[in-house]
Amino acid sequence: MAGGAIDMPRALRGETGQARGRARERKALARCWLRVSLAIGLGLLMWLLAVGKAHAASKAPSYKVEVVAEPRALRRLLEQHLDISRFATRPDVTDDQFSFLITATPQQVRDLAATQGYFSPLVSTDVRTVDNLRQVTVRVEPGPQTKVTSVDLSFRGAVLTEDPSRENATRFAFSLREGQPFSQGDWDDAKNASLRELQSRRYLAAKIYHSEALIDPRTHTAKLSVIYDSGPTFTMGQLDVQGTKRYPERIVHNVNPISPGDIYDTRTVAELQRQLQNTPYFASVAIDLDNDPAKPLDTPVHVKVSEFPYHSFRGGVGYSTDNGPLVQGGYTYLNTFGAAWPFTVEGRADKTQQYGQIQLSMPPGQHGWTNSVLASYTTTDVSDTRIYSIRGGVQRSRTSQFLDYSYSLLFYDDQLDQNAAPPTRAHALVPGWSWTRRDTDDPLFPRRGNLIHVEAGFAVKGLLADQSFIRGYARGQQYFPIGVDDIVLIRAELGGVFTSGSSRGIPASLLFRSGGSNSVRGYGFQSIGNNVAGSILPTKYLVTSAAEYQHWFSHNWGAAVFFDIGTATDTWGEKVFYPGAGVGARWRSPVGPVNLDVAYGIRDNRVRPYITLGIAF
């Protein structure tokens, strides 16, 4: 028993030693796996870093390019069109491709420079590697630019015997002249512009029969010749109208200025398009004519229109320094009585004036004349004077490309409130006439030409009028281009109500006040008039004028300096002129001209800012 007792502990001690050995083995194995895992992890991390560096390197540009050339226009042309420049940003250009691009560069430079009139350029390319990045320098000495030494324009076809003026107009439209630098772009533009001019009247199918530019690289000269084939004279026939579904086709024919047999003229076609777009019925208008030289007589005029729906709503908000925040809206129904009579309700409200009007018009009649009946209500609160005006009557008007006409018979019923006297009321039945002429080179951004508006009316006492009078008003703007970048603008305004009595018996809305952004800058809106106890009352006579000089730093941005002066008075012998001067910024925005002005009113000793949008006319 005792021996058994002694052997048992030995057996237990032996098992314990084996377990400790296995534990040591497990620890050693764990340490080994840890070392292996660390090695694998470090290897994976190094591999990821290497892949990341290779990936980043693959995204880097293969090389950089610098083009050294004068003038700047040539340098920009080469930077934009040389293959070595266009592929510089690509990371996957191989060595063989790079060598090909370098080899092709000199010839590409010569071809591109030739389009600008440089036919003997000296070209060198230099390739260097800096910080493992290849840098390419292309140096170009363009040499003398080729000049035009002769221009020979000749004609064949009906133009030789029918209309020499078309030949002269075509020659004038050819913009390349002797002594000017030759370039491929200018050569193409001159041919296209002159051909368009020849096609614009009579010769719709005119074409360039032959053209040639003889370049002498040795003498750097270019001899140009063009032969135009006018083809036959085209005459216009009947309208072929497509797209009229809601509104009668006769609307198109009523505003049509073209008579069958008229000689083709792009201005007449443009006038038809403008007349159609001036009506409220059509969202878009496209006009086309066949130009088959075998069928030049009575060519059909194809007119395709898309129509507005019967109902339309419009609205908008705005701001002006004269009148503050503005909100306006309107509704039009285009098929009143089922006969395409437009019915319009519109309104406008700002800080100084609230206005509402209803109008019912007939569709355009012969020659585009439109008859309408209207009624409006206007309240004006400015310069401590409040005018409440009701107006109603009939009107006949016509709008064309250059001229607008209007005849009207309107009844005015006005009330005027002022500080120092009780309200006064005046009414008058006024037959009126207005005329507007637009003759500018651009309707939105004019540089040359003029705008003129004239209106006249009268009233006879006892014929729904408190007082007899004759009223006249005229406004004009003249634009003078000065060089390439400058414009001089002259504006004048005249108004008068001629009567044997005072102005109290004349509706206040037919009298005059001045001051503001479109009148005399430097003074408040309608703040120049007859000052009675702080109320600026409208007057019988008005004179304003302005002179402005504009300089344009770029196509869209310019600056201006200006001087305005004007007066509004009841008695010409007691007139007081109000001068103002200032500076401004000019922006040709996508929606029209924007003027930002700061003006100093010399008589008031005050500085006022002004913001205006569009041509005030």
For position 299, which CATH number holds?
Answer: 3.10.20.310
Q: Is the separation of the CB atoms in 325 and 213 below 8 Å? A: no
Same domain, 536 and 404: yes
How many whole angstroms separate alpha carbon 244 and alpha carbon 98? 61
427 with 483, same domain: the answer is yes
User: pLDDT tens across 502-517, in order?
Assistant: 888 999 999 999 999 9
Q: State whether 581 and 468 are in the same domain.
A: yes
> Which residue range(s) make up the domain with 136?
63-141
Last residue of a domain, one of 307, 339, 359: 307
Judge if 295 and 345 occupy the same domain.
no
Q: Is residue 585 part of a domain?
A: yes
Q: Which pLDDT value is given to residue 503?
A: 86
Instruction: With a cut of 80, say whether residue 38 has pLDDT above it.
Output: no
The pLDDT of residue 113:
87
Q: Do 547 and 412 share a domain, yes or no? A: yes
Q: For position 52, what pLDDT does the model report? A: 45
How many domains are there within the chain? 6
Which residues partner with 581 through β-bridges? 563, 600
Q: Is the pLDDT of residue 19 over 60?
A: no
Give residue 211's region: left, alpha or beta (phi > 0; psi -120 to 50): beta
pLDDT at 92: 83
Residue 147, Cβ density class (10 Å: 0-12 exposed, 13-18 middle, ≥19 buried): middle
Residue 3 or 402, more confident: 402
**Residue 58, in any domain of the structure:** no
Question: Is the pLDDT higher at 99 or at 56?
Answer: 99
**pLDDT, tens digit, 9 for 90 and up, residues 144-168:** 888 999 999 999 999 999 988 999 9
Number of residues that make up the chain: 617
Residues 530/506, Cβ–Cβ less than 8 Å: no
What is the rounded average pLDDT of the residues 207-225?
Answer: 93
Mean pLDDT within 179-199: 93
Reported as a pLDDT band with limits 50, 70 and 90, residue 60 is low
201/174 Cα distance (integer angstroms): 16
Flag whether pLDDT at 23 surpasses 50: no
Percentage of residues in the chain having pLDDT higher than 70: 89
Q: Indicate whether 49 belongs to any domain.
A: no
Residues 337 and 408 in one domain: no
Cβ partners under 8 Å of residue 590, min gap 6? none
Residues 559 and 463 in one domain: yes
Tens digits of residue pLDDT in 89-141? 888 888 888 889 889 999 998 888 888 888 888 898 988 888 888 889 999 98
* Residue 214 sits in the same domain as residue 292: no
As a whole-number percent, the residues of the chain with pLDDT over 90 amount to 68
For residue 11, pLDDT beyond 60: no
Query: Does 172 share its domain with 221?
Result: yes
pLDDT tens string 499-552: 988 888 999 999 999 999 999 999 999 999 999 989 999 999 999 999 999 999
Residue 51's pLDDT is 44
User: What mean pLDDT value characterizes the chain?
Assistant: 88
Whether residue 467 is found in the same domain as residue 591: yes
What is the reported pLDDT for 59?
A: 52
Strand partners, 336: 341
**C-beta of residue 582 within 8 angstroms of C-beta of residue 599:** yes
Residues 349 and 425 in one domain: no
Distance (Å, whole) CA 454 – CA 431: 15
| Local confidence band at 31 (pLDDT 50, 70, 90 cut-offs) | very low
**Helices then strands (H, E): number in the chain?**
9, 27
Mean pLDDT across 364-390: 95
Burial, 359: exposed, middle or buried (Cβ in 10 Å; 0-12, 13-18, 19+)?
A: middle
User: Does the pLDDT of residue 9 top 50, yes or no?
Assistant: no
Whether 261 has a pLDDT exceeding 90, the answer reads yes
Q: For the segment 318-362, what is each residue's pLDDT rounded down to a tens digit?
A: 888 888 899 999 999 999 999 999 999 999 999 999 999 999 999
Last residue of a domain, one of 91, 117, 141: 141
Q: Does residue 605 share a domain with residue 531?
A: yes
Residues 436-474: pLDDT tens digits?
A: 999 999 888 999 999 999 999 999 999 999 999 999 999
What local confidence, expressed as pLDDT, does residue 425 receive? Answer: 95
